[in-house]
Amino acid sequence: MHDFPRINPVRLLDDLKTLRSFGANGPGVVRLSLSPVDMEARRWLAGRMTDAGLDAAIDGAGTVFGRSRKSGPALVIGSHTDTQPTGGWLDGALGVIYGLEIARALHECAATRDFAVDVASWIDEEGTFSSFLGSRSFVGDAIDASLQHARNREGVLLGDALTQAGLANAPRVVLDRARQRAYLEPHIEQGGRLEASGKSIGVVTTIVGIREFQLRFTGQRNHAGTTPMSIRRDAGAALVAFIARIDAAFGRLADADTVWTVGRIDLDPGSFSVVPGKAEMYLQFRDGNPERLHAMESALAVLVDEWNSQHAVPVELMPCDGPEEPVVMDTAWQQHIAQAAEAVAPGQWIRMPSGASHDAQVIGHHIPACMLFVPSIGGVSHDFIEDTAEAHIVLGCEVAARAAAGIVEALRLSA
C-alpha cells in the first residue's frame, strides 16, 4: 500500500479530552459501568460513531458498538470507557477513541476508503459488576448468571442497572465470524517498561495468565503479655514467615516478567494485646508462560506440605477464582504492528508481554487478536494521576492506523 491513512491529531485529542469530561475528578475520571455519567458518555460516544459514518448503538449489555457500512472482512478495534473508582483518563478510553479516529482516517484516505473497521467500547472491563462483561457477551459466553447475580459495591444488581439505563430490551451485539476477522486493542502500558527503555510503542506478545489463592493459618489466640514466645501459636508470625518462603521459591522460578503479590492480609482479632489466632492472606501471581505458572502452583503446594509437617500453626491453601491462562497475541498481526512502528518510529518499539488483563484476552480465543501499547508516565495507572504525553498519544494512533490498514488489506487479500 503506497497511500497510508493520516490521522487528525487535533480531532483525536479533542475527542479524548471531551470523553475525559464525563466524570472528571481532578486530572482523573470516575465513570463506573452503567452509572448515569457512564451512560451519558456512552450516548455521546454513539453519537460520535454515527458522525463518523458507523451504524452505532448501545447494546443490551451496555457495549457501544459502531459497525462499518463497508463490505468485506472487518477489523474490530476496541477497548473500554468505564473506569476504576479512582480511574485515569486514558485507561481503555485511549483504545476506543483510537478506533474512532482510525475509522475516520481510513475513510478519508483513497487507498483505504473501502476498508471495514468496526469500533467498540466494551462494557464493564473493570468489573464494577462482572469483569469483561461486554467482550464475553460479544463472543457468545453465557452472561445470564451475571445478569441475575452480579452486584456493584452498592448492592445494585446488574440486571436492575441495565433496566435503569433503559437497556433491558436492547439486542446484544454478537461476533459475526464470517465478517469480523481480527481484533486490535490499543492501550496505555499501565507500567513503566516503555518509559524506562526510552521506547514509544510496545508490540504485545502475550497477555499473562493469573492464579489467585487464599492461605489461612490457624493458631491460638492468647494474651500478648503473658504468653511466652516459646509456647505461642501465633498465626500472624507464621503468615509473615511463610511469605518469605514464597518469595524464595518463586524467585528461583521467575524470569524478569514474573510477578507475585500478597494483596491483602487479615489478622484475627487484630488487636495490639492479642496473639493472632487466625491469619489470612490473598496471593496472586502472573506470568505469560503456562509451564511456569504450573511450576509456581506446584511449588506453592510443596511449601504448604513442608510447612504443615514442621509447624504447630497449620496453613490451608484454597484457590480463589478459576485460573486465567495466558493468551498469545496473533503473530501475523503482531508483525503488522511492528512493521507500522518501524515505518513511523524506527527503532522506537519493543515486543513485550501485557502484565494486565484486557478484553483482547477474551476475544483472542475466538478471532486473531493483537495489542499495541503507548507509554504511561511514571508507570502509573488505575489512579487519578495516570497520564501519557500527547506526542506519544498521537504517535501511537499513527502506528495503530497504519497497522489497521495493513491488517484489513491482508484480510481482504485472503478473503
Q: From the annotation, which residues make up the binding site for Zn(2+)?
A: 80, 91, 126, 187, 382
φ, ψ for residue 393 (rounded to 5)?
-60, -50
The answer to whether the CB of 277 falls within 8 A of the CB of 219 is yes
Query: Which positions ≥6 away from 28 have C-beta within 8 Å?
Result: 83, 86, 87, 88, 89, 383, 384, 385, 386
Q: Which helix (H) or strand (E) holds 327?
A: strand 327-328
Q: Say which DSSP state 87 is in.
A: B
Terminal C-alpha separation, the chain: 17
Q: Using CA atoms, how far apart are residues 134 and 121, in angstroms rounded to an integer?
A: 8
The answer to whether the CB of 332 falls within 8 A of the CB of 407 is no
Residue given cell 500527547 in the structure block: 390
Q: Using CA atoms, how far apart are residues 77 and 329, in angstroms rounded to an integer?
A: 15
Query: Which positions ≥6 away from 109 have C-beta within 8 Å?
Result: 3, 4, 5, 6, 405
The answer to whether the CB of 170 falls within 8 A of the CB of 58 is yes
Residue type, 296: M
Beta strands per DSSP E along 219-296: 222-223, 259-268, 274-275, 278-287
Nearest one of 235, 215, 204, 177 to 400, comparing CA atoms: 204
φ, ψ for residue 329 (rounded to 5)?
-75, 145
Q: Which helix (H) or strand (E) holds 295?
A: helix 290-310
The set of cell numbers assigned to 260 is 507475585
Residue numbers belonging to the annotated binding site:
80, 91, 126, 187, 382
Residue type, 23: G
* C-alpha distances out from residue 88 to 19, 51, 84, 143, 357, Å: 12, 26, 8, 27, 16
Q: Which helix (H) or strand (E) holds 201?
A: strand 201-207
